[in-house]
Each structure stands twice: as structure tokens, then as C-alpha cells.
Amino acid sequence: MSVWIAIGLTAVGCYLVKLLGLSVPAGLLERPLVRRLAVLLPVALLAALTALQTFGGGPGELVVDARVAGVVAAAVAVLLRAPFLLVIGVAVVVTAAVRALG
Amino acid sequence: MPPAPPRAGQPVTGPPDRPAAPVTTPAPSVPVPDATVARRAAVRDGLGVGVAVGLSGFAFGVTAASAGLSVLQACVLSLLVFTGASQFALVGAVAAGGNPYTAAAGAFFLGARNAFYGLRLAGLLRVRGWRRPLAAHWVIDETSAVTLAQSDPRAARLGFAVTGATLYVLWNLTTLLGAVGAGALGDPAAWGLDAAGPAVFLALLAPMLGGARERATAALAVLLALVCVPLLPAGVPVLVAAAAAPAVLLVSGARARSRRSATAGAEEPARRDARPGGGSGDAGVPR
């Protein structure tokens, strides 16, 4: 049930924010500070999520496992400008390989 | 959602403010190669991005199912949320056992950047009436990247429609396939699929790390998130890490002010987010 609450809130929130962008007069959100925050906020969230999902274990604990190898490989793929799908594929394959060997 | 860059080096078919050729009225004596080339580029970009990113819905479907979501829940997310980073974030938070409100808050903050895409697209798309609420649902990283990369407004609208339609259909189909297929895979960790989530975030993040301010924000956010894990309930660390953004702004703002007062008239750092395709907060068009 609580998953449905999360899904409902996310769906409504994410939709309204998209509609807001198309609907408000351009000047309103175009203040320099708001724009800068809008640039940096996803950076902070995505960086945090990358780290959390790479090192996250059970509740309240951090672990180092095969995912680290996969994410490092993905980072190399990103640096080599691999396309999006390939980056994901590399992470998955390397993680699976390290786990199988380990 | 993934930062699918439109192909670089698409033909520049004329100045953006050039009036669109009246392609619907037959004018055989006046060929309109520019408009045709522009529309072809829009369709090609839209299909390329739509197909490539649309297929990665499979990773989402598998991730959602292995996080304990039902097939229906995974599909509803892709149908109604339709902004990949938020979807992955929500699923990750649910898997980590966060409460639904913090989980939704993290997903929502990630989705907030779409408002800024909408602002930039509004003038190009000019959608009114009943079309606007429909078009709004497709305002995401990929559609914005393709739309803003086109050379005239008509091609931009076409690019938006092609990318949006391709991506929406494929993303939802592959979500279903992934969610259904996840059961047959057995333990997703054995296949390395637990690395798909962080790899998605990393791939989205990388093109945003062009400036020192962005890199400082990312580093601080990682530090905050990891330090908070043992201290706070699941789902909360990512919200704490979001504070890295205003913190870095505050510090860099203070430093810029002191520098300005030192060297009067120093110029404001270039507005990186003002260039076409490099939307606010955007993964948009990295290369």
C-alpha cells in the first residue's frame, strides 16, 4: 500500500512540475538564483544516488562489493563517450563477472 | 532520464528565425530543401534518441521488479511518471525501505528540473488548449535535448513529437518486458542488474559535471549522503545531500562577491545554462 502512496505522489508531483514549466510566464522562474539552483540540484541528487546505490547495503550500512567494479567500469565507459545503453550494459556485465569470479 | 545527445553535426539548415517554408501548400517552383532537411534531421534525432533510451526501460522494469514492485506498479510508474531518473530514484528508495513520503520527495526533486525544460520549450512548441496538458507529460531530458537542437521551430515541434512518441511507447513496452522477465532471471544480483541503477545515475550525471561548481556539488553530495547512511532512516540521506546545491551556491556566491569587490566590474561567470540544448540542470546535450 505504501508503495502505491509513493507512486501516486511521485506521479502527481512530477506531472504538475512539467505542466508548470510549460504554463508559467517565462520571467517567473528565470531568476538567476533559481536557475542556478535548478542546475545544481540534479547534480547533487544524481551524485548522491550514484554513491548510495553503489555502496548501499542493508538498512543503515555501507558495503563494498562487485557493484563498485561495475560502476567504475561504467565511469570508464562514460569517459570514453560510450552511448547510454552501453554504459549500463558495461556496469551490469562487469558486476556479474566480478561476482561470478569472486 | 538518460542524457541522450542528439547526433552532433546535424545539418544547420539556416538561421533559427528564418520563417518556416509553407510546406503544406504546393509550390513546385520554389523548392524548400532547407525545411525538408531540417525535418529529416528532426525525425532522425527523435528516432535515434527515442529508440536508444526507450530500450533502457528494460533495465528499469527489471530493477523495479527486483526491488519488490509488482508488474503493475512498474508499468504505472513508466506510464504516469515518465521521467527516468525519478523512477529509478523512487524504486531505489522503496528497495532500501524508505517511507513513501521521503521516497516520493527524492523522486520529485529530481523531476523538478523538467519545469525548467518546459520554460525553454514553451516558446518553441506554442502548445495551447487541450494539447498543453498532453505535451507536458513528454517534457523530459531527451525530448528537450532533441527539440532545442533543431534549427527551426517547425523542426523543433516535429523533433519533440517524434522523440516523445517513440520514447513513450518503447519505454513503457520495455518496462513491461523487464518487469515480467525479471522473474525468469532469478536473482537479479547474479546478473549484475543491481549495478544498472547507479550506472544510470552516473551516465545522467557525467555530462553535467563540466564546471567546478558542479563538481564541488557532486563531491559534497556524495560525502553528505554516505555519512548520513548510518545515522538517518533510508531515503533521508539523499534529501540531505540535496543541500549540497544551495551550500555550494552560497559559498561560490560569497566568493564571487568578494572577488567582484576586489576587482570591480569582474564579469559574472558565463551563463552555461543559456546555451541551446544545455538546459537548466540538464543532462541535455552533453557533447
- pLDDT (average), residues B246-259: 89
The answer to whether B56 faces chain A, any CB pair under 8 Å, is yes
Q: Which chain A residues are Cβ-neighbours of B3 within 8 angstroms?
A: 84
Collapsed DSSP state (helix, strand, coil) of residue B80: helix
Contact of B129 with chain A, judged by CB distance below 8 Å, is answered with no
Cell of B129: 488548449
pTM: 0.73
pLDDT digits (tens, 9 = 90+) for B176-229: 999 999 888 877 788 888 888 889 889 888 888 999 999 999 999 999 999 999
Q: Give Cα separations from B140 to A5, B24, B114 (angstroms).
A: 23, 29, 6
Residues 25-84 of chain A with CB under 8 A from chain B are 26, 29-30, 33, 35-56, 59-62, 66-67, 70-71, 74-75, 78, 81, 83-84
SS3 B20: coil
- B256 has a chain A CB within 8 A of its CB: no
The grid coordinates of residue B204 equal 545522467
In this complex, do A44 and B244 lie within 8 Å of one another by their Cβ atoms?
Answer: yes
What ipTM, to 2 d.p.?
0.89
- Which DSSP string do the residues of B98-115 spell out, in sequence order? --HHHHHHHHHHHHTHHH
pLDDT in tens, B28-49: 455 556 888 889 989 988 888 8
More confident residue, B287 or B42: B42
The residue-averaged pLDDT of B123-135 equals: 91
Can you tell me the distance from the alpha carbon of B84 to that of B209, in angstroms, rounded to the nearest whole number? 19
Please list, in sequence order, all residues whose beta carbon lies within 8 angstroms of the beta carbon of residue B129, skipping any fewer than 6 positions away.
Answer: none
Q: In sequence order, what are the beta bridge partners of A56? A: A62
Measure CA A20 to chain center. 23
Residue B203, pLDDT score: 86
- A86, three cell numbers: 552501453
Residue numbers in B near A78 (CB within 8 A): 202-203, 206
pLDDT score at A73: 98
- To 5 degrees, how large is the angle CA A82–CA A86–CA A92? 130
Amino acid at B135: A
Cell of A97: 563477472
And the C-alpha cell for A55? 555502496
Residue B284 at interface with chain A, using a CB cutoff of 8 Å: no
Average pLDDT score over residue span B233-257: 89
Q: How many DSSP H helices and E strands does chain B contain?
A: 13, 0
B 157-176 residues with CB below 8 A of A? none
Q: Which residues of A touch B136 (CB under 8 A)?
A: 15, 18-19, 21-23
- Give the pLDDT band of residue B253 (cuts 50, 70, 90): confident
Report the pLDDT value the prediction gives residue B132, as an integer from 0 to 100. Answer: 95
- List chain B residues with CB under 8 Å of A41: 109, 112-113, 242, 245, 281
Contact B222 A43 (CB under 8 A): no
Using a CB-CB cut-off of 8 Å, the residues of chain A touching B94 are 3, 6
Q: Is B106 on the interface with A (CB under 8 A)?
A: yes
Determine the average pLDDT of the residues in A94-99. Answer: 96
